[in-house]
Each structure stands twice: as structure tokens, then as C-alpha cells.
Amino acid sequence: MVMYWGQNSYGEVGSQLNLASYCQDSTNDIIVLAFLSVFFDSSSGLPDVNFAGSCGGSYFEGTNLLQCPQIAEDIVTCQNNGKKIFLSLGGATGSYGFESDSQAETFAATLWDLFGGGWSNTRPFGDAVVDGFDLDIEGGSSTGYSAFVTALRSYYADYTDKDMYISGAPQCPMPDAFLNDAMVNSYFDFYFVQFFNNYCGMDQWSDTETTNFNFDAWDSFAKTVSYNTDVRVYLGVAASSTAAGTGYVTIDTLNEAAAQLMSTYSSFGGIMMCFAYTYSGTHLRRTITFPEMV
């Protein structure tokens, strides 16, 4: 189970609990922090992060880069509870992208020092080290992302403290406008495919007629075209009716779909939910009842 966190998607003050609260839920395996929304801030050249109201820290001097001590503490708590914490780059809004492979490779080094196993005096999460990076690229161009992933992998290879991962969150229409080249030419561990806000979304699924729903195409892509032919494909869904414009389905429909997809497609990796939220102080859980996956 993968959950995106950080953007207070329910739209009410306090509708998102702190990160550590979601790590108490045994059903969550990966929590993705959303988003690093600016790659190169005009004031400092460093990236910017935006976690809605969930980072109340100050900015590093001379930058627009937030210090997030509570998130840093929560990352360690989550990791001690066996959860993986990824940082997502991009999102539906923001200022991001590369002009060249060289710029992308340099940015990989910057991220490694700011959030990974490197060193910098401007680390938003202090000594906490994320477990991976996620590419949710929904604008700009496809330039540089393959080089970026490959460069990050080179840092991973020399890092012995723990395993590190890279995921992508493409839209369900194929080929993805921004990540297709990177997925074909560089190594991803997971695809968190967004089956919402698109004509091929979960609202098109049924157990007897797939219509525009295209998990079958993603399964084929993963096993025959993707650079990593063992990559896992996740069913990305909206966690509530307010978390997406279209594509939301009830938990009963999601249970039925997940069981059918897991039994049919060997690339099926699990469920991705966007976003975590609460209502009236009560954490709304989504319980998936299909058999445990390897």
C-alpha cells in the first residue's frame, strides 16, 4: 500500500494528520511526501518544498527552502515502524524540469546531498534520509529524466546503509508525455500509475468489460518495454471523492478490482492512494481485503 501525503487534499484546516500518525497504520508500506515542487529557485538555485501546512519551519538563510524539523522527526519514527518514505518531485503545479542531461545529473547530486545519503548544511529533514525519490512529472518536457534517474542510481550503488528506490507516477494514458523516455531508458522500481483524472481511470473499470481502463497495457509495457522488466505497477486511485476530479470509486469496487488485477497481471504491485486525509478528527482508513502480496 502506497499513500501520498502532504497536500491537505480534503480542503479543511486540520484535515491532514502529521506524517507519523499514518505510520501507525499497519496497512501502509510506503508514504510519499508531496511535493518538491520547484527544482531551481531563482533566489538561490536550490529546490523548494511545499507540504501545504505540514511544515511550519523557517527558511534556510538566503533561500526559499524550508526547514521541516517535525517532518524530519516523523520520518525517523516511520522508518523505525518499518515504513519507507519517498520524496515526490513535481506535482500538478510548480516550476520544474531540465534543459539538458548535464543539468539533470547535477540536480541528482543536489538532491542526494539535501535529502539522501550525502551532506549539506541546508537539509530540510536534517539527518533523516529518505528511502527513495518519486517522479510525479505533469508538466514541462521529458528532457533529462533518464539521466537524472541513472545519476541517482550511481549514488545508490555506493550507499551501503540501506536499500534506496525510485518510483514514477505516470498518468494512465500511454505513452506518458513526460516519463515514457525515462521509463524505457532508466531503472525504476515502481510505477504508481494515476488511474484518475483521465479517460482510462478507475471509473472505467469493471470485472467483465475493461472499456478504456488500461492496466493490461501497463502490464505489457512493464514486462516488455520498460528498462526494468521486473518493475511493479501500482493501481493509483483517489483516496476520496475530493482528492481527484474524476475516477474515484468506492472501497467495495476497489477491493473487487484489486483482486481481479492481482490474479490476472503478474506486474501488479499493490494500491497507491492519493492523498491521505482525515475528517472531523477521525482518520478515514481504506482497508483492502485481497490476499497478501509477495
Catalytic residues: 138
Conformation bin of residue 226: beta by default, left when phi > 0, alpha when psi is -120 to 50: beta
- Three cell numbers written together for 6: 502532504
- Three cell numbers written together for 268: 501488479
Name the amino acid, one letter, at 195.
Answer: F
Name the amino acid, one letter, at 280.
Answer: S
Beta carbons of 253 and 271 less than 8 angstroms apart: no
Report the distance separating Cα 130 and Cα 86, nearest Å: 6
If DSSP codes are grouped into helix, strand and coil, which group holds residue 210? coil
Report the distance separating Cα 27 and Cα 165, nearest Å: 20
Beta carbons of 114 and 60 less than 8 angstroms apart: no
The 8-class DSSP code of residue 93 comes to S
If DSSP codes are grouped into helix, strand and coil, which group holds residue 88? strand
How, if at all, do strands 190-194 and 165-168 pair?
A: parallel
Name the amino acid, one letter, at 183.
Answer: M
